[in-house]
Structure 1
Amino acid sequence: MSGQAGLVDCDFTLALNNRTGKFFFCGDLIAGSKDLIRNVYYWRLGFDQIPTGLIARILGRLAVVEIDLRVRHPRTLPTFLSRRDRVPIVFTDPREVLIHDLRETDIILCHDVGPLTHPTFYADGVEQIYRAAFDRIAEAKPHLLFASDSSCEEFKLLYGDDFPYLGVLYPPIRFGAGSSDQQPVTSIPGKFFLSVGSLGTRKNQLRAIEAFGRSGLVEKGYRYVICGGPEPGAEHVIAAADRTPGVLIPGYVNDPQLRWLYSHAEGFILPSLLEGFGLPAAEAIHYGVIPLLSRGGALEEVAGPSAILVDPLDVDAIVQGMHQIAVMSEGEKAQRLDQMRTSIARFSTENALGVWRSVLSRAASLHQHVGAGRSTSR
């Protein structure tokens, strides 16, 4: 089947160590294009279903070990790479190009280039891995898909635009049938602002907490609820929350509880320093919550100009934005939300699958054309 016409292979090693939005996004894309995908690989092994449990942990660990070795010993790259006569591979994360040889007909889904532009926001070693991966991408010049125009433009600044395809594949917003399935979080008071996203330096919760403390809104009955798992800098966010009256970090919340929080929040706060897309902001808009977001970049691209947009480095601007949401009339909220819902209507599963399938078909067709040319020249 190695030369089966019109098909690609997919590397979904991402699924072994990741259950964030990237996992669900890529899983939905793969499920919606099985007729175009021959095999799905997890590390070096193909499975019909996503590995779980011990098998997933073992394969995930082997992938991490191999990638680490290839970064530290780049001369090993030509060894044990992909088959010579293979179909195009679609990679769900740039990191995995270090496991395979890389060709122009391959497709890379790039969620962001943050590890290169903002390496201090990530764990030790992440920058080195992604720099090695993107350097290989720059050399091979495959097809590239980005989660936002902002990420695409950041990549062009680093590596130029001399690639056969540079496109944007917006992640679809996943609401499903469970939007009405809500579970109250009993520890949360009546009026609160909400942040959803990993706790750490990148999401800028330290400045948001400082702004809430300065705002005086706690005396008016407001609280500030922050939900998310840890990433670099989380310990500082937790410490700041502990010493700031009215700031609550409830820990893990399930999907019904998260839907309840979105549905009952007075405002959504995300003056992030770096976003590849900004799905929580789109979710907040869907649930009728006015978002306070960083000006410029992916968040403004998602929400449009009707969000409360601030300089994320300016605590006073964040304070003013919180006050603006707190006193906003219902009429103004409705007008802003109408405009923002028009903006997020672009982020549908149908639109994402359309772009995805088109690029997969393009790569497969190009592969057949290249293969035919090689056969003719022999």
Structure 2
Amino acid sequence: MDNSIGNERMETLRTGSVAPLLIDNSLSILNRTGAYYIAKDLCQEFVPEYARVRYWRLRSRPPEGLIRKIVARMMMLEINWLKDSEFCLIDNRDGDRSIRVFFDPLYVMRSVLTESDIVLCHDVGPLTHSKLYDSSTAENYRIAYEKIRRQRPGVVFVSEWSKRNFTSLYGSDFRFLKTIPLYVRTELFDGPMEAISGVDGPFFLTVGAFETRKNQMAALKAYRDGGFHALGVKYVLCGPRGDGHKQIIEFARTIPGVVVLGYVPDSRLRWLYAHAEAFLLPSLLEGFGMPALEAAYMGLLPIISEQSALVEAVSGVCVEVPPEDPQAISRALRSALFRSSQEKENTGSLLRELASRATKQRFLSQWKDLLLRPSEAPVRSPHPGPLRLSRA
């Protein structure tokens, strides 16, 4: 970290020459996925030294346990009822000069939003892939993004893929559009490994919530139709339950060789990443592709959706597949299974090397440079060119 940036910012805060930072971390009341950990790390970096934080209407007190669940429901009731109404907006005070940093577009709906503010955008899936979401979620995000379009704040993206999808809908006339890629949470891989009973011999691995957008149905069909069980190869799926989980799990249990683990602790997840033949995630929508990057960190070949944020996350060192073509996915699995030891070693080394560059320090440094360097105000960004991704 460049401490001179922070010192410069603190001096300008004391003199009143720049507006103070206010972080809206309402996301953490509701969301406990990867976005929650990103928000948590950003808050630890900036609060309280450089910024204040608020959690919906609770100000700086983050709710936990049962209280958090109750507050989450109340917050969503307000969003669903009032949408982006001007009535009773949060922090709607004369003279409030704070630059607000929102960790998710949804929470701009019940807040004042100005051009000087900043919104973190993981993806625009509720708009571009609305069939993967319930109608209420899709409608709320449509309203939130429309408010962002009107006010033109700065927008930060976790991938060029997400930025490109955003600009295809709303153009580039915003205070700035900036991509700050995510990072590997290396603490996930620190510590002992715990083998899993019943998972012996070679196996393929999928890590991700059991939900429609992760497309486990196509992956399961590819495994079944590829005859891998007859070859003594299993297919392990793990992750929390999401929208559509019932159908996925019921189908998985009809296929010999499939092991459904649900959520697993870090010690078991480390073991799975370390022993799998390949990582499979033909997702229909990802804003960044953290599971693929985690697999790369362990040297595990990702077989992932073509031309997606997943491919960008691993810099194209992967096997790309059309996500809705089980036969193509099956061929990719077979090719990965029968690689030589040298091929596995070479690919694994390359994957570990590229994943090792995606550090939390780099991520926080880019955010610190954005938020704490007062002398370099971002300017409106030109429209980005097409993203070119290599095919492994």
Q: Which moved more, 1:198-207 or 1:5-14?
A: 5-14
Question: Which whole-Å CA distance do the structure 1 matches of 2:14 and 2:128 have between them?
Answer: 38
State how far apart, in whole Å, the 2-side matches of 1:8 and 1:306 are.
38
Instruction: Please state if 1:300 is matched with 2:302.
Output: no
User: Matched residue of 2:296: which SS?
Assistant: helix
Pair 171,44 (structure 1): closer, same or farther in 2 beyond 3 Å: same
Answering whether residue 201 of structure 2 is matched by residue 190 of structure 1, we say yes
Find out whether 1:212 has 2:229 as its counterpart. Answer: no
Residue 86 of structure 2: aligned partner: 77
Aligned residue in 2 for 1:59: 71
Q: 1:155-197: per-residue Cα shift (whole Å, max 9, x none)?
A: 0000000011101121111012752322222132222111001
Is residue 25–residue 172 contact of structure 1 (8 Å, CA) maintained in 2? no
Check conservation: 2:159, 2:287, Cα contact below 8 A.
Answer: yes
Equivalent of residue 226 in structure 1, options 223, 233, 237? 237
| 1:283 aligns with one of 273, 294, 298 | 294
Q: State how far apart, in whole Å, the 2-side matches of 1:57 and 1:257 are.
A: 28
CA distance in 1 between partners of 2:188 and 2:170 (Å): 41
Q: Which segment drifts farther, 57-66 or 89-98?
A: 57-66
Q: How does 1:100-119 map to 2 (within 5 A)?
A: 100-119=111-130
- Flag the 1:11–1:3 CA change in 2: closer, same or farther, 3 A: farther
Secondary structure at the aligned position of 1:249 is classed as: strand
How far 1:35 sits from its partner (Å)? 5.6
CA distance in 1, matches of 2:294, 2:311: 14
Q: 1:68 aligns with which of 57, 80, 83?
A: 80
TM-score if structure 1 supplies the norm length?
0.90
With 177-186 and 327-336 compared, the bigger mean Cα shift is at: 177-186
Which of 158, 163, 171 lines up with 1:160 in the alignment?
A: 171
- Out of 23, 29, 38, the position equivalent to 2:36 is 23
1:45 paired to 2:54: no
Match of 1:10 among 3, 17, 23: 23
Moved more, 308-317 or 1-10: 1-10
Name the CA distance, whole Å, in 1 between partners of 2:344 and 2:293: 15
1:95-174 map, 5 Å:
95-174=106-185
- Which has the higher mean CA deviation after the structures are superposed, 150-159 or 279-288? 279-288
Cα distance, 1:3–1:118 mapped onto 2, change above 3 Å: farther
Hey, what's the Cα distance between the residues in 2 that align with 1:358 and 1:84?
29
Q: Find the residue that maps to 1:253 and give its secondary structure.
A: coil
The residue that corresponds to 1:376 in the other structure is: none
When residues 135 and 210 of structure 1 are mapped into structure 2, their CA distance, relative to the original with a 3 A threshold, is same
AA paired with 2:95? D
| Superposition deviation, residue 363 in structure 1 | 7.5
The question of whether the paired residues in 2 share the 8 Å contact of 1:105 and 1:364 is answered with: no
Change (3 A) 1:177 1:271: closer
Q: What's 1:272 paired with?
A: 283
Provide the aligned C-alpha RMSD in A: 2.2
Would you say the 8 A contact 1:198–1:231 is kept in 2? yes
- Could you list the per-position Cα deviations for residues 267-319 of structure 1 after superposition, in whole angstroms to 9, with x for gaps in the alignment? 11011111001111111111121111111120110113331111112211101
Letter paired with 2:42: L
Structure 1 residues 2 and 110, CA gap change in structure 2 (3 angstroms)? farther
Does structure 1 conserve the Cα–Cα contact (< 8 Å) formed by 2:122 and 2:162? yes
Secondary structure, in 3 states, of the residue corresponding to 1:162?
Answer: coil
Structure 2 residue 346 is the aligned partner of structure 1 residue 335? yes
Give the letter for the 2:43 counterpart.
I
Instruction: Determine if contact 1:108/1:142 at 8 Å carries over to the other structure.
Output: yes
Asked if 2 retains the 8 angstrom alpha-carbon contact of 1:201 and 1:232, the reply is yes
Q: In the aligned structure 2, how far is the partner of 1:156 from the partner of 1:362?
A: 26
Q: Provide the rounded CA distance (Å) in 1 between the counterparts of 2:328 and 2:51.
A: 51
Shift of 1:337: 2.5
Cα distance in 1, alignment partners of residues 120 and 193 from structure 2: 33
Contact 1:16 1:42 survives alignment (8 Å): yes
| Structure 2: distance between partners of 1:133 and 1:207 | 32
Instruction: Report the CA distance shift for 1:364/1:101 in structure 2 as closer, same or farther (over 3 A).
Output: farther
- Equivalent pairs: percent with the same residue? 36
In structure 2, C-alpha distance between the alignment counterparts of 1:47 and 1:365, rounded to whole Å: 29
Point out where structure 2 has 5 or more consecutive residues left out of the alignment.
1-12, 379-392
The one-letter code matched in structure 2 to 1:57 is K
For structure 1, list consecutive stretches of 5 or more residues without a partner in the other structure.
368-378
> How many residue pairs are counted as aligned between the two chains?
363
Which letter does structure 2 place at the counterpart of 1:253? V
SS at match of 2:323: coil
Higher helix proportion (structure 1 or 2): 1
